[in-house]
């Protein structure tokens, strides 16, 4: 892909990775992704903002073919999908200075063995003149690493936001045109890496409010010419009202747990509560993460394997504890053959979740009439709590 013009003297560069299917050996990428870098040519200085995964440096190098002088390279975030090609860019332009935060300097030196002499650190709010253009650096730590910042091109009102406001989508659209698609991909990305820092990101969104932004240029996915769409979506995800939704991640081995999950889902639906079921044997974990962003209640369904929860359920519970969703209620349903400590084990795995536990329902063998009655009670308890809280 050749460089693509965003505005006069401002270009998208990078690599569109149509083949990527897994990030960090963990996160599914059903739509691939892109690694966006941006070239800004001022009347006096030229700057490249971020780079690409090192294996795709060749593409970036071709895009830089006509750039004879690079004065600055900005690293907004030290993770290797954006920083990995910094050493190669600095080799190509030995006079270029690398601009980053003090924390990122430390990380970049550790990760990429970049020499301290090449690096200039900036403080929060510092500006860099490129002649007729000015870049302002704004600290936004913990998106999702501690060193992150964004850069605002004052004259053109462009916010280079790196991971923030990004989406894992491979597309030939330079700008977001299919907002429904971008919304889901961006919510997925937010849920997978930023949700644990929602309160911090809420403060960053407040910090960015005074800035007059025409364009948001993230480092993954398409660029936003309608910034309020993506900024307001993030405001909703970090602090918007929870929804009248119960998510039911579950595994069933011999249909007992499945029978209970289906029954509870049916009872909740009758009571006007929306449900989303995720069979963990087959689900895309990213879909579950999206649902965790604003569901009011989580009900985990698991059989007992040996003496504890099914390992797939334990994995999902571990992930949910890491992602720290804002859900207010949690319960556990499932089955056992002769004993075990399934409920205690799962309950002990969620110290990060600020949830009220609603009485679990565990059946010995196939669920009995008594177990279904207990599920009725559970459904009623959830529906009442949602109603009291005014979740819609």
Question: Which residues are near ligand FEO by CB under 6 A?
Answer: 77, 79, 81-82, 144, 163, 219-220
What angle do helix axes 198-208 and 227-239 make, rounded to 10 degrees?
A: 140
Nearer to ligand FEO, 163 or 371 (CB): 163
Nearer to ligand FEO, 220 or 243 (CB): 220
How far is 265 from 287, CA to CA, in rounded Å? 18
CB of 144 to ligand FEO, least distance (A): 6
Q: Which pair of structure tokens corresponds to residue 220?
A: 């993954």
Nearer to ligand FEO, 176 or 193 (CB): 193
Q: Kindly list the distances between the CA atom of residue 306 and the CA atoms of 167, 366, 371, in Å, as whole numbers in the listed order.
A: 40, 17, 22
Q: How far is C-alpha 342 from the geometric centre of its chain's CA atoms?
A: 30
Q: Which pair of structure tokens corresponds to residue 119?
A: 């690096």
Residue 135's closest CA among 205, 50, 222, 67?
A: 50
CB of 275 to ligand FEO, least distance (A): 32
Nearer to ligand FEO, 144 or 259 (CB): 144
How far is 308 from 209, CA to CA, in rounded Å? 48
**Cα 113-48-11 angle, rounded to 5 deg:** 150
Nearer to ligand FEO, 24 or 155 (CB): 24
Which segments of the chain does DSSP mark as H helices, in order?
57-63, 80-83, 86-92, 102-112, 179-189, 198-208, 227-239, 256-270, 285-292, 311-323, 342-347, 369-389
* N residues, the chain: 392
Burial (CB count within 10 angstroms: exposed 0-12, middle 13-18, buried 19+), residue 148: buried
CB of 82 to ligand FEO, least distance (A): 6
Nearer to ligand FEO, 189 or 237 (CB): 189
CB of 355 to ligand FEO, least distance (A): 28
Nearer to ligand FEO, 205 or 358 (CB): 205
Nearer to ligand FEO, 105 or 144 (CB): 144
CB of 219 to ligand FEO, least distance (A): 6
CB of 143 to ligand FEO, least distance (A): 8
What are the beta bridge partners of residue 218?
A: 162
Q: Which pair of structure tokens corresponds to residue 255?
A: 């249909």
CB of 15 to ligand FEO, least distance (A): 12
DSSP 351: T
CB 180 within 8 A of CB 186: no
CB of 220 to ligand FEO, least distance (A): 6
């Amino acid at each position: 892909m050749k460089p693509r013009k965003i505005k006069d003297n401002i270009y998208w560069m990078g690599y569109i990775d149509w083949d990527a299917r897994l990030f960090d050996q963990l996160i599914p990428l059903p739509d691939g992704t892109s690694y966006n870098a941006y070239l800004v040519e001022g009347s006096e200085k030229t700057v490249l903002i971020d780079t690409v995964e090192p294996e795709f440096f060749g593409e970036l190098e071709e895009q830089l073919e006509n750039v004879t002088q690079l004065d600055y390279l900005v690293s907004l975030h030290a993770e290797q999908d954006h920083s990995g090609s910094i050493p190669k860019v600095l080799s190509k332009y030995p006079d270029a200075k690398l601009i980053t935060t003090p924390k990122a300097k430390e990380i970049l030196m550790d990760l990429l063995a970049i020499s301290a002499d090449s690096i200039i650190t900036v403080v929060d709010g510092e500006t860099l003149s490129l002649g007729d253009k000015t870049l302002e650096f704004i600290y936004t730590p913990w998106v999702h690493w501690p060193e992150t910042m964004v850069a605002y091109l004052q004259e053109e009102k462009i916010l280079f936001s790196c991971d923030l406001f990004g989406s894992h989508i491979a597309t030939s659209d330079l700008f977001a045109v299919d907002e429904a698609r971008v919304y889901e991909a961006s919510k997925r990305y937010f849920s997978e890496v930023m949700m644990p820092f929602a309160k911090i990101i809420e403060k960053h969104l407040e910090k960015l409010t005074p800035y007059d932004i025409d364009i948001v240029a993230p480092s993954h996915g398409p660029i936003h010419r309608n910034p309020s769409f993506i900024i307001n979506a993030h405001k909703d995800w970090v602090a918007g009202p929870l929804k009248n939704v119960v998510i039911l991640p579950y595994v069933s081995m011999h249909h007992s747990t499945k029978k209970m999950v289906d029954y509870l889902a049916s009872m909740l639906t009758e009571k006007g509560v929306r449900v989303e079921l995720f069979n963990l044997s087959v689900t895309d974990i990213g879909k579950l993460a999206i649902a965790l962003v604003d569901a009011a209640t989580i009900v985990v369904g698991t059989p007992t394997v040996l003496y504890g929860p099914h390992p797939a359920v334990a994995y999902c519970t571990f992930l949910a504890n890491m992602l720290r969703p804002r859900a207010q209620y949690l319960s556990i349903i499932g089955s056992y053959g002769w004993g075990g400590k399934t409920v205690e084990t799962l309950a002990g795995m969620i110290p990060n979740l600020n949830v009220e536990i609603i009485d679990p329902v565990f059946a010995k063998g196939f669920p009995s009439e008594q177990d279904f009655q207990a599920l009725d009670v559970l459904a009623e308890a959830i529906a009442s709590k949602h109603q009291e809280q005014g979740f819609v």
